[in-house]
């Protein structure tokens, strides 16, 4: 780590085993001995042992302690690590120290990253129970949407840290997402005017998509504001090499049929058996109780699990597949379906390739929260207005592969789809979390080319974004047919309005609806970031 000549690195022997324990940051109060796992607290020039830390679980992260990078022009080094668990999965917080002695957090959740700066706790901050998921709130004059309110707990820690929650003790963690437009990016500080650690006065996160995390593990809650980043943006060095997982340790026997099931993703919470298609909950670990649910009427994906494809300038592997059903609350007898492919890239995390009768789309969860209009008929995201297309209840009906959240048949969410041309937004809400996802439509030809399925182009064909001349001609014919049908319908209605119900049966009904669910909702499991 490149250190400032005026910054002193403190070192003292571990009170547990005598091995050297380093404190490179003046703000660090706790450290985990790398030799005996003792948890030590710094008290002036001495160290006190206060217990032993649990072993880290191997999440096969490309990051590791002493990895270095650049953020907003200044070098930093990762010196600490916290592993947390919540109802739907796990995530990691990396403690970063800058060359000027200030600090930040790099949150890692299933391949997605948020770089966050600690901020002063705003005055009169409400208790965690006051933040209702899906509601809007204002802190220090800044609008936010309440995206998550979860009970979380510390599983393990490593290195040096500014504070350390009690191991295994649940506490509240609230996440707020920014609701500003793109013009808000440089509007000033988000909460107060001073960032903790002396990074800068009145500095604002340079992105309009912001995450405000409130940690209630201390008497005075701690706050941090961050933005989504890609690892390439941080110019990181000292990363771990490609992980070679111990596949033997990631295998188990299916609790339904006994067949061997291998887990390939690092943080899988759900997986299906390749022999009997049972959906298995592995959130308790390989040694935990394996709950399963039988799945009948298998749905076969058009793009095989394990396939790789080139999309958005990166290589993605198909690791999961869901079939989902939607129903309009105003018309519970009408159902529609769509399918979602979960794609994974080690450095970019997860995205969804969605297949519906209305076309293909590529989407991923937003970092910020689009701002809903008062009547809920539109929303604004990064300065662009999206109109409400439809609202519906979504339910998972079938799943294959691995998922970073706990998938179960019958999982239900409330969804709203918004559109602006070929650009898409989806709002998906469960009792504990709200997830916004953003994406755009993609031509079926591009899907076929990406996954080398040109021989299945006809099977993949949908209502594409750009019409060819042949498609345009088809659209004209379709419009003529629709016009004639509408003309016929008007004649029927006019006739019925004049007929005598006592003499003839002139009742008529008419119903039409798009296929719905054309771009999610994808039960993303509510990734912490």
Adjacent-strand bridge partners of 387: 378, 419
- Who's near 502: CB < 8 A, 6+ residues apart? none
Residue 320 has what pLDDT?
Answer: 93
pLDDT at 471 over 90: no
Residue 198 domain-assigned? yes
Which of these ranges, 216-220, 340-344, 378-382, 440-444, has the smallest mean pLDDT? 378-382
- Residues 305 and 191 grouped into a single domain: no
Query: Does residue 153 belong to any structural domain of this protein?
Result: yes
DSSP string covering 131-181, please? --TT-EEEETTEEEEEEEEEEEEEEEEEEEES--PPBT--EEEEEEEE---
Of the listed ranges 150-164, 264-278, 312-326, the least confidently predicted one is 264-278
How distant, in Å, are the alpha carbons of 30, 220, 286, 365 from that of 519?
45, 41, 34, 12
Q: 349 in a domain, yes or no?
A: yes
Q: Are residues 185 and 37 both part of a single domain?
A: yes
Average pLDDT, the chain: 76
Contacts of residue 313, Cβ cutoff 8 Å, sequence gap at least 6: none
Compare 135 and 68 and report the one with higher pLDDT. Answer: 68
* Most confidently predicted of 79-83, 183-187, 497-501: 79-83
Pick the last residue of a domain from 431, 460, 489.
460
Largest CA distance in the chain: 101
- Give pLDDT, residue 193: 32
**Could you give the CA distance from residue 304 to residue 451 in angstroms, rounded to a whole number?**
10
**Residues 230, 301 within the same domain:** no
For residue 285, what pLDDT is reported?
64
Report pLDDT for 45. Answer: 62
In a domain, 449, yes or no: yes
pLDDT at 338: 93
Lowest mean pLDDT among 96-110, 274-288, 368-382, 474-488: 474-488
Which residues constitute the domain of residue 149?
A: 10-234
3-state DSSP assignment of residue 456: helix
Whether residue 212 sits in one domain with residue 323: no
Per-residue pLDDT averaged across 444-459, rounded? 92
* Residue 104 resides in a domain: yes
519 close to 439: Cβ distance less than 8 angstroms: yes
- Domain ends where: 214, 234, 254? 234
Which one has a higher pLDDT value, 492 or 229?
229
- Burial classification of residue 124, based on how many CB atoms lie within 10 Å of its CB (0-12 exposed, 13-18 middle, 19 or more buried): exposed
- Render pLDDT for 402-442 as a digit per residue (tens, 0 to 9): 888 888 888 888 999 999 999 999 999 887 778 888 999 99
Grade residue 15 by pLDDT with cuts at 50, 70 and 90: confident
Q: What whole-number distance in Å separates Cα of residue 528 and Cα of residue 522?
A: 15
Tell me: pLDDT of 370 over 50.
Answer: yes
Q: How confident is the model at residue 467, as a pLDDT? A: 38
Whether residues 327 and 204 share a domain: the answer is no
More confident residue, 265 or 489: 265
Question: Do 230 and 353 sit in the same domain of this protein?
Answer: no
Here the tokens at position 13 are: 């022997």
Residues 223 and 96 in one domain: yes
In sequence order, the 6+-apart residues with CB closer than 8 A to the CB of 279 are: 270, 271, 272, 292, 293, 295, 399, 407, 408, 409
**Same-domain pairing of 301 and 230:** no
Share of the chain above pLDDT 90, in %: 28
Is residue 103 assigned to a domain?
Answer: yes
pLDDT band at 521 (very low <50, low <70, confident <90, very high): very low
Does the structure show a pLDDT above 90 at 362? yes
Q: What's the pLDDT at 194?
A: 34
Which carries the bigger pLDDT value, residue 61 or residue 155? 155
pLDDT of 168 strictly over 70 = yes
Average pLDDT score over residue span 97-126:
88
pLDDT number for residue 394: 92
User: What pLDDT, on a 0 to 100 scale, did the predictor assign at position 266?
Assistant: 67
Q: Is the pLDDT of residue 203 over 90?
A: no
What is the pLDDT at residue 352?
Answer: 94
CB 441 within 8 Å of CB 353 = no
Contact 47, 41 (CB under 8 A): yes
Which residues face 32 on adjacent strands? 39, 159
Q: Which is more confidently placed, 30 or 379?
A: 379
Do residue 110 and residue 35 come from a single domain?
A: yes
Domain stops at, among 407, 441, 460: 460
* Residues 47 and 174 occupy one common structural domain: yes
Higher pLDDT, 334 or 439: 439
Statement to judge: residues 208 and 337 lie in one domain: no
Specify the range with the lowest mean pLDDT, choosing from 248-257, 376-385, 448-457. 248-257
Are the C-beta atoms of residues 190 and 119 closer than 8 Å to each other?
yes
Nearest to 372 by CA among 174, 138, 132, 145: 145
Q: Could you tell me where the DSSP H helices lie in 368-411?
A: none
pLDDT at 434: 82
Residues 228 and 373 grouped into a single domain: no
Q: What percent of the chain has pLDDT above 70? A: 71
- In the three-class reduction of DSSP (H, G, I as helix; E, B as strand; rest coil), residue 477 is classed as helix
Query: For the whole prediction, is pTM greater than 0.85?
Result: no
- Specify if 516 maps to a domain: no
Residue 14 belongs to some domain of the structure: yes
pLDDT of 382 strictly over 60: yes
Q: Give me the mean pLDDT over the 67-89 stretch.
A: 89
Domains in the chain, number: 2
For residue 86, what are the CA distances in angstroms to 172, 221, 301, 464, 470?
A: 10, 18, 30, 39, 52
Confidence of residue 231 (pLDDT cuts 50, 70, 90): confident
**pLDDT over threshold 50, residue 472:** no
For position 524, what pLDDT does the model report? 44
């Amino acid at each position: 780590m490149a250190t400032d000549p005026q910054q002193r690195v403190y070192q003292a022997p571990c009170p547990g085993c005598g091995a050297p324990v380093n404190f490179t940051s003046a703000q660090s109060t706790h450290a985990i001995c790398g030799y005996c796992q003792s948890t030590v607290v710094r008290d002036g020039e001495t160290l006190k042992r206060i217990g032993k830390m649990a072993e880290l679980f191997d999440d096969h992260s490309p990051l590791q302690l002493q990895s270095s990078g650049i953020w907003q022009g200044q070098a930093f080094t990762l010196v600490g690590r916290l592993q947390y668990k919540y109802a739907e999965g796990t995530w990691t917080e990396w403690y970063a120290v800058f060359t000027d002695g200030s600090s930040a957090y790099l949150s890692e959740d299933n391949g997605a990253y948020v770089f966050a700066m600690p901020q002063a706790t705003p005055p009169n901050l409400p208790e965690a129970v006051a933040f209702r998921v899906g509601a809007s709130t204002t802190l220090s004059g800044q609008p936010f949407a309440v995206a998550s309110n979860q009970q979380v707990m510390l599983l393990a820690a490593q290195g040096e840290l500014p504070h350390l929650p009690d191991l295994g003790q649940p506490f509240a963690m609230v996440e707020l997402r920014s609701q500003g437009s793109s013009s808000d990016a440089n509007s000033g500080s988000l909460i107060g005017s001073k960032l903790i650690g002396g990074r800068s006065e009145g500095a604002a996160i340079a992105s309009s998509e912001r995450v405000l995390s409130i940690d209630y593990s201390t008497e005075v809650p701690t706050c941090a504001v961050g933005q989504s980043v890609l690892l390439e943006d941080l110019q990181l060095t000292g990363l771990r090499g490609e992980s070679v997982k111990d596949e033997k340790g990631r295998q188990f026997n299916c609790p339904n049929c006994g067949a061997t099931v291998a887990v390939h993703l690092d943080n899988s919470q759900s997986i299906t058996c390749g022999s009997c298609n049972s959906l298995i909950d592995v959130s308790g670990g390989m040694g935990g109780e394996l709950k399963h649910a039988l799945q009948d009427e298998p749905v076969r994906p058009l793009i095989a699990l394990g396939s790789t494809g080139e999309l958005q300038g990166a290589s993605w592997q198909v690791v999961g597949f869901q079939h989902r059903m939607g129903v309009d609350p105003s018309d519970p007898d009408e159902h529609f379906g769509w399918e979602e492919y979960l794609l994974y890239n080690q450095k970019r995390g997860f995205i969804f390739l969605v297949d519906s009768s209305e076309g293909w789309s590529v989407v991923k969860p937003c970092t910020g929260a689009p701002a809903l209009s008062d009547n809920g008929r539109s929303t604004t995201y990064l300065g662009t207005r999206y109109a409400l297309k439809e609202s519906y209840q979504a339910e998972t009906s079938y799943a294959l592969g691995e998922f970073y959240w706990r998938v179960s048949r019958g999982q239900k969410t409330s969804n709203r789809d918004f559109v602006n041309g070929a650009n898409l937004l989806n709002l998906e809400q469960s009792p504990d979390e709200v997830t916004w996802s953003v994406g755009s439509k993609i031509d079926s030809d591009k899907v076929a080319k990406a996954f080398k399925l040109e021989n299945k182009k006809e099977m993949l064909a949908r209502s594409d974004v750009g019409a060819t001349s042949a498609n345009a001609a088809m659209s004209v014919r379709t419009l003529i047919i629709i016009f004639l049908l509408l003309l016929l319908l008007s004649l029927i209605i006019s006739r019925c309005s004049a007929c005598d119900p006592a003499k003839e049966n002139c009742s008529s009904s008419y119903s039409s609806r798009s296929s719905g669910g054309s771009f999610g909702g994808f039960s993303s499991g509510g990734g912490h970031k």
